[in-house]
Amino acid sequence: MDSKEVSLLKKALERQKKARRQAEMILEEKSQELYDTSRQLKETNARLENLLSEKTSELEGVFINIVDPYLVMDINGQVIRMNAAAKQLLGYDHTKESINLSQLVHPEFLEYTKESFKKLYEVGTLKNYRAKIVVKDKSVRFVQVNSSLIYDKDRNPIAAQGIIRDITKESEVEALLSEQKKQLDIIVENSPLGIVLTVNSKFIRANKAFANLLGYSESELKEVTVNAISDPEDEEVSQELHEKMIQGKLENYSVIKRFIKKSGDTLTTKTSVSAVRDPEGKIAYEVAIVEDITKEKEAEEQIKASENRLATLISNLQTGVLLENEDRKISLTNQMFCDLFEIPVSPEQLKGADCSNAAEESKHHFKDPKAFVKRIDEILKSRKLVLSDELEMKDGRILERDYIPIFNNGVYKGHLWTYNDVTIRKNYKTNLENQKEKYWSIIANMNLGLIEVDNKDVIQLVNQSFCKMSGYSEKELLGQKASEILKVHEKNLIEEKGKERLKGKSDSYEVKVVIKSGQTNHWLLSGAPRYDETGKVVGSIGIHLDITTQKNLELQKEELLAELEESNKGLQEYAHIVSHDLKSPLRSISTLATWLHDDYIDLLDETGVYNLQMMQEKVEGMDKLIDGILKYSSIKSETLEKKPVDLNQVVNDIREIIFIPEHVSVIIMDPLPTLQADATKMHQLFQNLISNAVINIDKSEGIVSIGVTEKKDIWEFYVRDNGVGIPKEYHDKIFKIFQSIGSEERSTGIGLSIVKKIVDLYQGEIWLNSKVGEGTTFYFTLNK
Amino acid sequence: MTILFIEDDAIESMKLNRTASKLPVKHTIVQAKNGEEALDILNGPDQLPDIIFLDLNMPRMNGIEFLQILKKDPALKYLPTIILTTSQNRADLLECYRTGIAGYIIKPLKYEDYEDKIQKVIAYWEINELVKA
């Protein structure tokens, strides 16, 4: 270390020593000052303390006399002083124990209390601090505190004083009130009735129900007036009532009022309005309770409608109705009742009439008036339900009467009489029974066999005739299956008919049955379904007629007819063959005679030629005879045709075919009809008659006239000539075959037989009028 | 013209021959006494006739039976067959027309009438075109 350095260090050290001395001096100075101050402070304190104690005693004098609980606490909440009331309230005594108010505060109010204290310190006062506290006996009290800070002389807060009011009771009331209000709100809000509060037609409040009813929200309602949403039609009535309420004549009213919903629909309500008045009696509010009665209204209308229906029903009932009340006055009756008893007034007019003497007054209607009155008295006395009493009226009608007493909760309220005219029903029943009896005796005694079977074909009933027919006794038949005991040849037919019977079909048919004796008989069977009262088919009824004899005859007849037909056919054939066999040799003879004449004319003398001529004529006659027989035998009903035949045409044709000499004229006198007949036969008929007439003309001028007269069901024709006439004794003979009375060689005597046969065929008649030398008229009839 | 004449009666044959002989044009008349004989001829080697005259009433096979057989034959059914009969039986007439005939002549009583009818029939067939075999 060099000296320089040392000197430097020495200097520094010197400087430090100097600085410390200086600091020690300053410290000494300051200490002196501090001491002075502290002494002064001590003095001031002492003075202040004096002052305080003075002030305290002053205040104590004031507060001691405060009735309300009063206390002073330091800034930590420790109670410094409290009066008797406070002691009583809190249950504590600060002179005996230490009390910190903060510990009394109910936990719920801690936060509020902290804030309130803070406010107190900042502002210096605290008003209306309300809190729950727990007092010594653990009960909870509600208190209200007004407090202010207490400062020392330096304006530092040193304590706080407060006046406590016990508001427990007050709070409870308040809580109760708010609870009640809440409940009221709930009631109002949840009421199904619309509740509104209005002032001067403005909605102050409306509950949910009202808003819902109208479709407006609560806020929207505040924008409209009552009138704006009311149906204008109701305005007059509402206005009038409202007016009265304003005038104080009315405290409340109830009307059926219609509102217009937001949707535009109408809402029908029952609205009750009450006035809430202020102390001066003016209306402060109007409270309205609105009830939706749309449905009620509808229901009411429905009830009205059904009442109307019921009334109409009763008035038109085919039963006479009389409803009497407990005083025997008529409550209700109908037209039918008036008609039944010939009461000349309307049912309306009868309403209210006294019935106590009705029985006596109307007994003359009945066959047994005494019994009628007696019975009524009986019924009225017993007041018990009586049904279907039968009453015989003097005029023959039969009425059925019901009596129905009416009780309401056990109290007799009147009674109902009903009368039905059952004359027809009654008579019908009697008739039915009579008829049944009558028919049953017919059935039992008739010659027809009757059998009834059920749906299973089991025999239910037979009559005597059926037993006789079948050979079985009733005992043997009943309960048996009909198809088993009675052996019917046509089994399938019976089954088929049985099915049809179930369908309700009835008809007749023939069966062959083997009866008990083993003999086969023919029965004609008429079957019909059997019905029960409900119209259901429960079986069938068969009526049987034994037609064995008739059937056998019929079969015989059929056989005979077939035989006859066969033999007729044979005969017809035979006639043809015979005629051919006869005609062929005639042709040969005729031919040979011709040839003899032609080839040997030179060798023949006059007699020979004449004889050959005679031979030819005889052969010709024979040929005609054969033709006639053939024609006669071929007139048969089965070959007849049925076509319209114009007889004028027929006669005209004949005029052209047959030989009519110059001096004879054939005249149609009346237009002849057109008949439904066989043309050939008509032709034969007229040709034979006409040619017959022509041949018999012996006068120089011959007239054959043909005419007709129309009768009811027939045509009467005639063919008249002015010829030789027919002697009376021949009139019957001439229609018989081969009976010729004509002198003419050409007559075969078969023509009129053919005529008769044709007329017979058409179920006509033929006869004649004749006078020898004057002429003959043939009459014949043909059916129309 | 060749005529097959089916007839059992000798005088009828004479009548036809006499009638035919009077005609200016000569015709061949082949005679059969009944249906069977006629079929034999038709089925034989000779040429078929141009027309047939058929009587209905014959012993053994009668005229209608013959006609039915004829009309069933595929070749013979073309032969025109004229009925010559005394039968006015309508049933016969209808049956013949149904089976197939070319004429139905009733034999008249008088020979002159017969001659007249036959001449007309022959004259009619002479002017017809015939089915030549």
Q: Are residues A773 and A656 in the same domain?
A: yes
Residue A105 · residue A131 · CB < 8 Å: yes
- Tokens representing A607? 């007699």
- Residues 6 or more apart whose Cβ sits within 8 Å of residue A133: A90, A104, A105, A106, A109, A140, A141, A143
Say yes or no for a CB contact (<8 Å) between A591 and B15. yes
Q: How far apart are CA A498 and CA A537, in angstroms?
A: 11
Average pLDDT, chain A: 84
The rounded percent of chain B whose pLDDT value lies above 90 is 65
Which range, A452-456, A664-668, A728-732, is most confident?
A664-668
Interface test with B, best of A574, A591, A627, A629 (most B CBs within 10 A): A591
Question: Above 60 in pLDDT, residue A678?
Answer: yes
Q: How far apart are CA A92 and CA A84, in angstroms?
A: 10
Residue labelled with tokens 């005394």:
B86
A739-746: list long-range contacts, CB under 8 Å, 24+ apart.
Answer: A742/A695, A742/A696, A744/A695, A744/A696, A745/A617, A745/A621, A746/A621, A746/A624, A746/A695
Cβ atoms within 10 Å, residue A581: 12
| pLDDT at residue number B106 | 92
Say yes or no for a CB contact (<8 Å) between A594 and B12. no
Comparing A47-56, A156-165, A253-262, the range with the smallest average pLDDT is A47-56
In a domain, A300, yes or no: no
| pLDDT at residue number A62 | 62
Measured between CB atoms, which of B87, B109, B112 is closest to A620?
Answer: B109
Report the side by side order of strands in the sheet with A330-333: A330-333, A320-325, A411-421, A398-408, A386-392
Q: How confident is the model at residue A58 (pLDDT cuts 50, 70, 90)?
A: low
The neighbouring-strand residues paired with A330 are A324
Side-chain half-sphere of A704: how many Cα atoms within 13 Å?
A: 26
Mean pLDDT of B86-108: 90
Mean pLDDT of A152-159: 80
Which range, A522-536, A749-763, A769-783, is most confident?
A769-783
- Distance (Å) from the C-alpha of residue A641 to the closest C-alpha of chain B? 14
- Tokens representing A286? 């109007």
Q: What pLDDT digit, counting tens, does each position of A541-550 carry?
A: 888 888 888 8
- Tokens representing A61? 């004098």
Say yes or no for a CB contact (<8 Å) between A591 and B11. yes
Interface test with B, best of A571, A577, A579, A583 (most B CBs within 10 A): A583
β-strand pairing of A320-325 with A411-421: antiparallel
E strands in A83-139 = 125-134
Measured between CB atoms, which of B88, B107, B112 is closest to A587?
Answer: B107
More confident residue, B80 or A486: B80
- DSSP label at A365? G
Sign of CA dihedral A725, A730, A735, A737: negative
Q: Which residue of A has its CA nearest to B107?
A: A587
Comparing A26-30, A227-231, A374-378, B83-87, the range with the smallest average pLDDT is A227-231
Residues of B in contact with A623 (CB under 8 A): 109
Q: Which residue of A has its CA nearest to B7?
A: A584
Residues of B in contact with A587 (CB under 8 A): 11-12, 86, 107-109, 114
* DSSP codes of every residue in A155-178: S-EEEEEEEEEE-HHHHHHHHHHH
Residues of B in contact with A577 (CB under 8 A): 57
More confident residue, A311 or A452: A452
Residue A234 · residue A258 · CB < 8 Å: yes
Q: Which of residues 165 through 194 in chain A touch B, CB cutoff 8 A?
A: none
- The CATH topology of domain B19-113 is Rossmann fold (3.40.50)
Q: Which of residues 23 through 52 in chain B touch A, CB cutoff 8 A?
A: none
| pLDDT at residue number A744 | 47
Say yes or no for a CB contact (<8 Å) between A580 and B57. yes
Question: Above 70 in pLDDT, residue A781?
Answer: yes
Measured between CB atoms, which of A576, A588, A627 is closest to B11?
Answer: A588
Residues of A in contact with B88 (CB under 8 A): 579, 627, 630
Q: Are residues A393 and A333 in the same domain?
A: yes
Q: What pLDDT digit, counting tens, does each position of A649-673 carry?
A: 999 988 888 888 999 999 999 899 9
Cα angle vertex A443, ends A441, A447, to 5°?
Answer: 120
More confident residue, A402 or A361: A402
Q: How far apart are CA A398 and CA A363, in angstroms?
A: 14
Say yes or no for a CB contact (<8 Å) between B89 and A576. yes
> Whole domain around residue A773: which residue ranges?
637-783
The neighbouring-strand residues paired with B28 are B2
Residue labelled with tokens 């018999």:
A696
| pLDDT at residue number A54 | 63
- DSSP label at A354? B
Question: Above 60 in pLDDT, residue A185?
Answer: yes
Residues of B in contact with A584 (CB under 8 A): 9, 12, 57, 86
In a domain, A70, yes or no: yes
Question: Above 60 in pLDDT, residue A747?
Answer: no
Report how many Cβ contacts below 8 Å link chain A to chain B.
49
CA end-to-end distance (rounded Å), chain B: 12
Q: Which residue of B has its CA nearest to A591?
A: B111
- Distance (Å) from the C-alpha of residue A572 to the closest C-alpha of chain B? 9
Sign of CA dihedral A325, A328, A329, A333: positive
| Residue B119 forms contact with A (CB below 8 Å) | no
Q: How far apart are CA B56 and CA A584, in angstroms?
A: 12
The neighbouring-strand residues paired with A714 are A783
What CATH number should be reported for the domain holding residue A218?
3.30.450.20
Structural domain total, chain A: 7
Question: Above 80 in pLDDT, residue A67?
Answer: no
| pLDDT at residue number A572 | 75
| pLDDT at residue number A745 | 45
CA end-to-end distance (rounded Å), chain A: 197
Nearest CA among A355, A328, A325, A327 for reference residue A343 = A355
Q: Which residue of B has its CA nearest to A584?
A: B86
- Distance (Å) from the C-alpha of residue A654 to the closest C-alpha of chain B? 20
Sign of CA dihedral B49, B50, B55, B60: positive
Q: How confident is the model at residue A359 (pLDDT cuts 50, 70, 90)?
A: confident
Question: Above 80 in pLDDT, residue A241?
Answer: yes
| pLDDT at residue number B112 | 92
Query: Residue B129, Cα to own-chain centre: how many angstroms?
Result: 17
Say yes or no for a CB contact (<8 Å) between A591 and B57. no
Q: Are residues A357 and A470 in the same domain?
A: no
Q: How confident is the model at residue B133 (pLDDT cuts 50, 70, 90)?
A: low
Say yes or no for a CB contact (<8 Å) between B109 and A594. no
Q: How far apart are CA A403 and CA B104, in angstroms?
A: 103
At position A235, the amino acid (one-letter code) is E
Q: Which residue of B has its CA nearest to A575?
A: B89
Average pLDDT, chain B: 90
At position A41, the amino acid (one-letter code) is L
Q: How far apart are CA A395 and CA A421, in angstroms?
A: 12
Q: Which of residues 583 through 642 in chain A touch B, CB cutoff 8 A?
A: 583-584, 586-588, 590-592, 594-595, 616, 619-620, 623, 627, 630
Q: What is the dihedral of CA A66, A70, A75, A80, to 10 degrees?
A: 90
Measured between CB atoms, which of A576, A590, A623 is closest to B87?
Answer: A576
Measured between CB atoms, which of B9, B89, B111 is closest to A590?
Answer: B111
- Residues 6 or more apart whose Cβ sits within 8 Å of residue B119: B19, B23
Q: Are residues A614 and A743 in the same domain?
A: no
Say yes or no for a CB contact (<8 Å) between B88 and A627. yes
Nearest CA among A355, A312, A367, A314 for reference residue A337 = A314
Residue A537 · residue A444 · CB < 8 Å: no
Q: What pLDDT digit, counting tens, does each position of A15-31 carry?
A: 888 888 888 888 888 88
Q: What pLDDT digit, counting tens, does each position of A611-622 carry?
A: 999 899 888 888
- Distance (Å) from the C-alpha of residue A468 to the closest C-alpha of chain B? 54
Q: Which residue of A has its CA nearest to B12?
A: A588
Backbone angles phi, psi at B109, to 5 degrees: -70, -45
Helix H, strand E, coil C: the string for A548-570 is HHHHHHHHHHHHHHHHHHHHHHH
Residues of A in contact with B12 (CB under 8 A): 584, 587-588
Could you state, in order of their start, the residue ranges of all structural domains in chain B?
19-113
In a domain, A647, yes or no: yes
Question: Above 50 in pLDDT, residue A646?
Answer: yes
What CATH number should be reported for the domain holding residue A778?
3.30.565.10
Q: How confident is the model at residue A1 (pLDDT cuts 50, 70, 90)?
A: low
Q: How far apart are CA B129 and CA A122, in angstroms?
A: 164
pTM of the model: 0.40
- Tokens representing A262? 């937001």
Mean pLDDT of B31-35: 90
Interface test with B, best of A568, A569, A576 (most B CBs within 10 A): A576
Q: Are residues A466 and A337 in the same domain?
A: no
Residues of B in contact with A620 (CB under 8 A): 109
Say yes or no for a CB contact (<8 Å) between B111 and A584. no
Q: Which residue of B has its CA nearest to A573?
A: B89
- DSSP label at A261? -
In a domain, A308, yes or no: no
Q: How far apart are CA A105 and CA A114, in angstroms?
A: 10
